[in-house]
A = this chain, B = another copy of it.
Amino acid sequence: MTGPRYTPLVASLPSTVPFVGPETQERSRGRPFAARLGANESIFGPSPKAIEAMQAAAAEVWKYGDAQNHDLRQALAAHHGIGPGNIIVGEGIDGLLGYLTRLVVAEGDTVVTSNGAYPTFNYHVAGFGGVLHKVPYRGDHEDPEALIAKAVEVQPKLIYISNPDNPMGSHHPAETILKMIAAVPEGSLLILDEAYIDLAPEGTAPEIAPDDPRVIRMRTFSKGYGMAGARVGYAIAAPALITAFDKIRNHFGMCRTSQIGALAALRDQPWLEEVKARVAHARARLAEIAAANDLTALPSATNFVAIDCGADGDFARRVLAELTARDIFVRMPFVAPQDRCIRVSCGPDADLDAFAAALPEALEAARR
């Protein structure tokens, strides 16, 4: 008796995971983290109204969720001033990136992204047999011109950019993104990952005609709205692309409670404003903590701050290990030269106090 016969593609895939979760680390460490600042979750939490709505909906979880995500799509359409036919709701941006990759990437198809950009996207591309072409960051920014130049060269099915950027926290103004969209080669689709857009300065989100076939924008309730565990993302694109998801998606894949929670969260824009203010405060605080340790906090348009540890990746990895040993969960960029930084999520003062207390010791230990 042998096992099942996997597809040749699956047989060739490595058994890697894009991220090791904090719970996995806690189990291997044998004790919990004191501050959970590594996954850019919103420790400020979701809107109290969203919590209330989810609690009220808990007893009705015997019902499958609405396969069309109708109410949430209607509300999102009104919120953005577009049609519900321009919106697909899915199981987080991760789920939507998986579906989108499956829609367009067959084995051997090319995809363009930045070296050091979102690894879960790369995981999906590899998982469908796509061939990744990576361009370097320019400074601490993804480089729209280099991405487009590479796209003109390799004519990819997909081009990926996040704005604001993860893991560096940098951003481009709307005009730069609009210029990029105008240069997308015929037959390529630009993925504009706007996971952190709710926390970016005015003028970061471009106005895009929702029917523009060259671009799909990804949004999420995981960051500003503080509902990472609910798994609610959405994309805005031309109706033909939106309906294509219906050919392959898990139609009843959305958690009903999450649908209801996201709707309540969207309706509570004052809470999002409150979170923005708290994030701004935490960013400033993280910059102070960095400065007090003779380190540099990079400017951030997100709910996290990349802190330049002032040396190379090996040093930053040692700092990260020492922080972990002191019960502080943080992450860091994967590739050089961005990996000179550690990446710290915004959070309430108590969490940042724990980070501030651990950092000097961690730096000292890393320097030994």
Contacts and interface: CB of A to CB of B under 8 A. Distances in A.
Given A251-B17, A257-B230, A4 B104 contact: yes
A59 B43 CA distance: 10
Interface residues of A, number: 90
Contacts of A8: 106
A252 B42 contact: no
A113 interface: no
A187 B5 CA distance: 6
Given A92-B252, A255-B257, A229 B21 contact: no
B238 A19 contact: no
Given A62-B42, A63-B229, A103-B6, A253 B17 contact: no
B103 A7 contact: yes
Interface in A60-84: 60-68, 70
Contact of A13 (B5, B157, B187, B247): B247
A333 interface: no
One complex includes copies of this chain to the number of 2
A238 B3 CA distance: 8
A36 B60 CA distance: 12
A41 to B, nearest CB: 5
A187 B188 CA distance: 39
Report which residue of A67, A157, A243, A261 has the largest number of chain B beta carbons within 10 angstroms of its beta carbon: A67
Nearest to A3: B213
A51 interface: yes
A24 B66 contact: yes
A61 B228 contact: yes
Contact of A229 (B188, B238, B256): B256
Interface string A81-98: 000000000011011001
Contact of A44 (B62, B188, B212): B62
Nearest to A17: B251
A116 interface: no
B21 A67 contact: yes
- Among A63, A241, A261, chain B packs the most CB atoms within 10 A around the CB of A63
A46 to B, nearest CB: 6
A44 B60 CA distance: 10
A316 B254 CA distance: 31
Given A62-B42, A64-B21, A6 B244 contact: yes
Given A15-B247, A231-B254, A63 B91 contact: no
B63 A228 contact: yes
A183 B271 CA distance: 60
A127 interface: yes
A158 B157 CA distance: 31
19 contacts: A3-B238, A6-B244, A9-B106, A10-B248, A18-B251, A21-B67, A23-B70, A24-B68, A39-B63, A39-B64, A41-B63, A43-B62, A44-B62, A51-B61, A61-B229, A62-B228, A91-B91, A95-B250, A231-B252
Given A46-B59, A257-B257, 20 more contacts: A2-B186, A3-B241, A4-B158, A4-B187, A4-B189, A5-B104, A6-B103, A10-B244, A14-B247, A20-B67, A23-B70, A27-B70, A41-B62, A44-B62, A45-B62, A51-B59, A54-B257, A60-B229, A65-B229, A92-B250
Interface of A: 1-10, 13-15, 17-21, 23-24, 27, 36, 39, 41-46, 51, 54-55, 58-68, 70, 91-92, 94-95, 98, 102-106, 109, 127, 157-158, 186-189, 212-214, 222, 226-231, 238, 240-241, 243-244, 246-248, 250-258, 261
